[in-house]
Chain A
Amino acid sequence: MVWANSLLLAIGGLLVGVPIILHLLLQPKPKSLIFPAMRFVRENQKTNQRRMRLRHWLLLALRMLLILILAAALAGPSTASNRFGSWVTTGLFGSAALIVAVLLTATLLTKRRQNFVMPAILGVVLLVLLGVAGYSLAQSLRGNDGPVIGDQRAPVAAVILIDTSPRMQYLFENKSSLGRAKEMADWLIQQFPPESQVAVVATDDDSLFYSVDLRAAKKRVQTFGLNFSSASLPERMTVAYEFLDKATQARRELYVLTDLTRQSWQTTAETSLKDLASRYSETGLYVVDIGSKQVANFSVDSLQLQQSTFTKKDSLKIECDLKYQAFTGEGDAKLNIGTRVVRLKVEKPDATRPVRQDGKTLVPEEYITREANVSFDNQGNSSVQFDVSGLPEGIHHGTIEIEGDDGLAIDNLRNFTIEVKPAWPVLIVHAQNANTGFLEDVLRASATAYKATVIEEDEIGNEDLRQYRAVFWLDPTRPTDTTWEQLHRYTSVGGSLTIFVGAGAEEKKRAAENFSTESAIKIMPATLTRVFLGDGPDREVYLSPDSMTHPIMAAFRQSASSIRWSRYPVFKHWGLKQNEGGDDAATEVILRFSNGNPALVERRVGSGRVLLLTTPLSPSTNVNVDRWNDLTVIGDGWTFLLFRMLGEYLVSTVRGELNYSVGEFAILPNDDRYFPQRYRMFSPRNEDPGTVTANEQFVRYRFTDTPGHYRLKGRLEQVVLRGFSVNLAEKSTDMTRLDEQDLESLIGKDQFSYATDRFEVQREQGALRIGREFYPLLILLLVVIIGLELLFSNFFYADPPGR
């Protein structure tokens, strides 16, 4: 027999004494009366007093029994086995039936035989009690497969799964959810019967094993800390279920200690929790909710950098989404929170930092700070933008932080890393007669800084293209397969190439064939067909944009209808057809001519891109050559703007991401001509720096499990500083909670036990672990006893008729 709350039973046992004390000490004083007809009183006095005493004792016994049964019911008695439970029930109700039978006999033998109400009631009660006792006896005799009698403290095999996601750092009443989970786990371990096998595991932990003993399990709990790339609970539960399935113990239990946030329970696993729970229905699942029902949390939800690498001429543009979540446990709280300050901080590039000193990593000073006051809408959403220009060259680490206290501090800050370069190195390759003046003017007048190198196409083989951010190839003539291969290598690792085809392609008969060789079609967006002449009065066409969705066209979106593209006539242009065996989906037409032919086409090659303009941008210096277009005429400046946007689009391609989410593999390109092979890695974990070695032109780093700035310090001729930032995944600190109904739909009704505190855990353990609960039966018995007590007290002390 197990008592869920033995303290209550003890208190109840003491309270049984109350009726006795009342009976012995507080006996009512008799009413003093004058009565002349004493002769008749005297004659029956002895019988009356004996009966009176008997009735008092009977009522006293019933009242004591009543308190005892009430205390026993509230103490939650139960047995480990059904069979044992049946025996106990038989005994309990059999005894009650015996008592009632004695009462019934006594009633029948008294002089009041003419009154049949009392015997009738007692008879019915006796029948009910005998019925329950008989049924229970039948069950006991039939037997079942439950554990044998006395097995209630049998050892269990248990897995305690603790959620260690960042949300568990939420502080409520000065205690984090993880702290609470650890306390609960500690207590749970204490409760297990001796010889139990307990495995303690966190959501980020792959190793699932039974601790040597309960003490070792308790120690293991204390080693758990937050993990920013935890697996979801359902995934870990699958492993835990399978693990428990192999246990030798008959009794298996899985405890999930969670804050019940929706994020923790999201799963992509094929097997649903419902299937899992029903498949392993013999394993008792306890979901212990240790989260706070009252939540107030600010977070910097996401951070978008327009680009993470730019030139000194550019400005840093950052946009952040902010979120405020508040729950009171009784529905959403009113989001009346006024304004909050959001602060941007950027570190100054400093060759002497980072450095380890006195067990700490010293980092460069912050030299730019910006503040903005933000207010939140009714849904708790807000956003903020920062625009910082004039950043010096180098790697910059920075943060965006929302100020003020809330329950979860970890998501109040986001990190970012940017790289400022002096200028974008670009290569202009031109045919012998091509004029590069217009393109050079465009690059010079651009908002970003370029460092242009101009070469003739014969020299391209000598160039190392990897150093250039973009390559412009003006009016190519006779491109060789070697050149195509070189360009293919360049673009497939992220290089950007724009080809302006013109007269060079038709200089020699069948020259266009050079643009459709096997090597050429690896990067050419399309195959050249023939030169089209315009069909206007002066045999011209002009640019006719039909879609403004491409980033190059962004500048024209506002004034698309007012631009007179006809002022920039195109007299000749190449026609295009799909490459043989090419993938149409990889090719996009950005701009068309007024006759519908493509003007500007883009194709992604590897991680790079290739753009093709079907008319040249270099008026030929050869007067004998026909004029192809007037795009280079300044005029209203629209074509100038178009090619400026094209240039900026090409260099904005981010090669080597500098910002990652926790758990992602960080990869930085590491050209061994410009970067060292070995770096010291200063991680945000405040540990001594380790060594990171570049391999195959890349630095790869996998331990991005903590948000913050990761700083690489190497030396080539001088100190080389590199780095990247790691942030929590977006929405990973969404504190929206599940309720019990959600859990039911997720796991299945009656497939789990839900508890929020120790008492509830005990109660649920009682219900699941233990064969039979006696609460309902005791309450039934209590009702019977109350009925008997009322019946007897009314019968004994009935008011005289007519009074």
Chain B
Amino acid sequence: MSVEKYLKPEVINQIKRLDLRAQFVVKGFLQGLHASPFHGFSVEFSEHRRYAHGDDPKDIDWLVYAKTDKYYVKKFEAETNITGYLAMDISAGMDYTYNQDLTKFDYAICLAAALAYLMISQQDPVGLLAFNDKIRKSLPPKSKRTHLGNMLSMLARLKPHGTTDIAGSLQQIAAMLKHRSLVMIFSDLLVEDESAVEDMLNSLYRLRHGGHDVILFHILDQAEVDFPFTGLCEMEDPETGRKIKVDGQGFRSEYKKQIEAYRETIRTACQQTNIDYVALDTSMQFDKALMEYLISRRSRF
């Protein structure tokens, strides 16, 4: 049995340690790539070239000079690294699943851990931001291997709570980031109303205009996509506590249309601003999200 099975949420749920989860997800993903166009993502130097005027003398490879009596400088991959930020929505609404193995939050954690693992193994510095109505926790980006442990331990300690204010939180993040970074947002994007959606999109634009690359992982529970309920149901909002009675079957198609329209709205908005939008639900394998990251990374270099 290959490690690819760990890409399935129901399998990864059986592993409790987050570091192992991340490791298995990434290994499973990489094994599945085969003749991957992304071959060579590692901490290797990529090329030697003749020293030219203006080059930093620090970069001269003295070993080569000893052998060849010529100045060469070596160019390392460190030059291609980007700083990544994992922005996790930890509002109470994320702690939900109807009949899946992982909640939206668990799913987001697994995905974030895997991405952190992947990035750090490529010596990309990665930081962590957790927000609900504002940024609640943060970890600065680093690329050391020891940093991964810190990242994962923080991720493991995160508990979803409170209401969400994505727009405000994203504005905070935009203000916080000094350098051009890759911001990966993990959220269900469930906001109060249309104006909140607009605010949220504006905040995303602002982040993008700040020069950051944004990947938006829109994570919904499968029940939030398919609405599988039957009969009379009384539904309660976990964030506001409001209750509504609806007829499951009668409501399904209308609901699905709505949620699809919502996803479509965000996708369109993201396309316009070159934000990568990845619509996920908790029944999907992790590789879709990872692939999205790699494609995004490649397109940058």
Which A residues have a C-beta under 8 Å from some C-beta of B? Answer: 28-45, 47-49, 51-52, 55, 796-800, 803
- Smallest CB-CB A-B distances: 5 pairs: A36-B93, A52-B247, A40-B258, A30-B234, A30-B232
Partner of B259, one of A28, A37, A796, A798: A37
Q: Is the CB of A49 within 8 A of B245?
A: yes
A48 to B254, CA, bound (A): 9
> Is residue B51 contacting chain A, with contact meaning CB distance below 8 A?
no
Interface string of B2-21 (1 = CB under 8 A from A): 00000000000000000000
Tell whether, in the assembled complex, residue B231 and residue A33 are in contact, meaning their CB atoms are under 8 Å apart: no
B248-269 interface (Cβ within 8 A of A): 249-252, 254-255, 258-259, 262
Specify which chain A residues have a CB less than 8 angstroms from the CB of B262 in the assembled complex: 40
A-B contact pairs, 20 of them (CB 8 A): A28-B231, A30-B234, A31-B231, A33-B234, A34-B96, A36-B190, A36-B221, A36-B239, A37-B190, A38-B242, A42-B244, A48-B254, A49-B245, A51-B247, A52-B232, A52-B246, A52-B247, A52-B250, A796-B249, A797-B231
Residues of A within 8 A of B235 (CB): 33-35, 38, 41
Total contacts A to B, CB within 8 angstroms? 105
Given A49-B245, A55-B250, are A39 and B234 also a contact pair (CB < 8 Å)? no
Contact B96 A36 (CB under 8 A): yes
B residues near A36, Cβ cutoff 8 Å? 93-94, 96, 188, 190, 221, 224, 237-239
Chain B residue contacts of A799, Cβ below 8 A: 230
B236 and A34: CB pair below 8 A?
yes
Bound form: Cα–Cα A31–B250 in Å = 15
**Besides A30-B232, A48-B250, 20 other A-B contacts (C-beta < 8 A):** A29-B232, A30-B233, A32-B234, A35-B223, A35-B235, A35-B236, A36-B93, A36-B238, A39-B191, A39-B193, A40-B259, A44-B251, A47-B254, A49-B246, A51-B250, A52-B250, A55-B250, A796-B250, A798-B249, A799-B230
From known contacts A36-B239, A37-B190, A41-B235, infer whether A800 and B250 are also in contact, taking CB-CB under 8 Å.
no
Which A residue sits closest to B235, measured CB to CB?
A35
Q: Is the CB of B247 within 8 A of A800?
A: no
Name the contact of A30 in the complex, choosing from B227, B245, B249, B255 (C-beta under 8 A).
B245
Give Cα A800 to B191, complex, Å.
27
Given A30-B234, A34-B96, A797-B249, does the pair A803, B228 have CB atoms closer than 8 Å? yes
Interface residues, chain B, with chain A CB atoms under 8 Å away: 93-94, 96, 98, 188, 190-193, 220-221, 223-224, 226-240, 242, 244-247, 249-252, 254-255, 258-259, 262
Using Cβ atoms and an 8 Å threshold, which residues of chain A touch B251?
Answer: 41, 44, 48
A42 CB, min distance to chain B CBs, angstroms: 6
Beta-carbon contact of B244 and A41 below 8 Å: yes
Q: With CB as the reference atom, state the residue of chain B lying closest to A798.
A: B249
List of B residues within 8 angstroms of A29 by Cβ: 232
Report how far A31 CA is from B231 CA in the complex, Å: 8
A36 to chain B, nearest CB (A): 4
In the bound complex, residues from chain A placing their C-beta under 8 Å from that of B250 are 48, 51-52, 55, 796
Q: Which residue of A lies closest to B221 (CB)?
A: A36
A residues less than 8 Å from B220 (CB atoms): 37
Q: Is A44 within 8 A of B237, CB to CB? A: no
Closest CB-CB distance, A46 to chain B, in whole Å?
Answer: 10
Contact, CB under 8 Å: A37 / B224: yes
Residues from chain A with a CB closer than 8 A to the CB of B236 are 32-35
Q: Contact: A41 with B96, CB < 8 Å?
A: no
Closest residue of B by beta carbon distance from A799: B230
- Known contacts A31-B231, A49-B245, A52-B250: A41-B238 contact under CB 8 Å: no
Residues of A within 8 A of B228 (CB): 800, 803
CA distance A664 to B259 in the complex (A): 104
Q: Determine the chain A residues whose CB is within 8 A of the CB of B246 once the complex forms.
A: 41, 45, 48-49, 52
Contact A31 B233 (CB under 8 A): yes
Give Cα distance in the complex from A30 to B247, angstroms.
9
Determine the chain B residues whose CB is within 8 A of the CB of A34 once the complex forms: 96, 235-236, 238
Give A37 to B221 CA distance when docked, in angstroms: 10
**A800 and B234 contacting across the interface, CB-CB below 8 Å:** no
> Which residues on A sit within 8 Å (CB–CB) of B238?
34-36
Q: Which residue of A lies closest to B188 (CB)?
A: A36
A38 to B238, CA, bound (A): 9
Contact with B244, one of A45, A47, A52, A796 (Cβ below 8 angstroms) = A45
Q: Are B255 and A44 in contact (CB under 8 A)?
A: yes
Q: For A800, give its contact among B98, B245, B252 (CB under 8 Å).
A: B252
Question: Is B254's CB under 8 angstroms from A33's CB?
Answer: no
Using A31-B232, A51-B250, A55-B250 as known contacts, say yes or no to A38 and B237 having CB atoms under 8 A apart.
yes
A39-B192 contact, Cβ under 8 Å, with A31-B233, A797-B249? yes
Docked pose: A712 CA to B192 CA in angstroms: 121
Q: In whole angstroms, how far apart are the Cα atoms of A757 and B203 in the complex?
A: 88
Considering only CB atoms, which chain A residue lies closest to B193 in the complex?
A: A39
Listed residue (A31, A36, A44) with the most chain B CB atoms within 10 angstroms of its CB: A36
B76 to chain A: closest CB distance in Å?
45
Q: Shortest distance in angstroms between B157's beta carbon and chain A's nearest beta carbon?
A: 22
Q: Which residues of B contact A798 (CB under 8 A)?
A: 249
Assembly CA distance A32 to B227 (angstroms): 15
CA separation between A592 and B221, bound complex, in Å? Answer: 126
Residue of B nearest to A795 (CB): B249
Closest to B256 in A: A40
For residue B237, which residues in chain A have a CB less than 8 angstroms away from its CB?
Answer: 35-36, 38
Cβ–Cβ < 8 Å partners of A42 in chain B: 244
Q: Is B255's CB under 8 angstroms from A31's CB?
A: no
A28 close to B232 (CB less than 8 A): yes
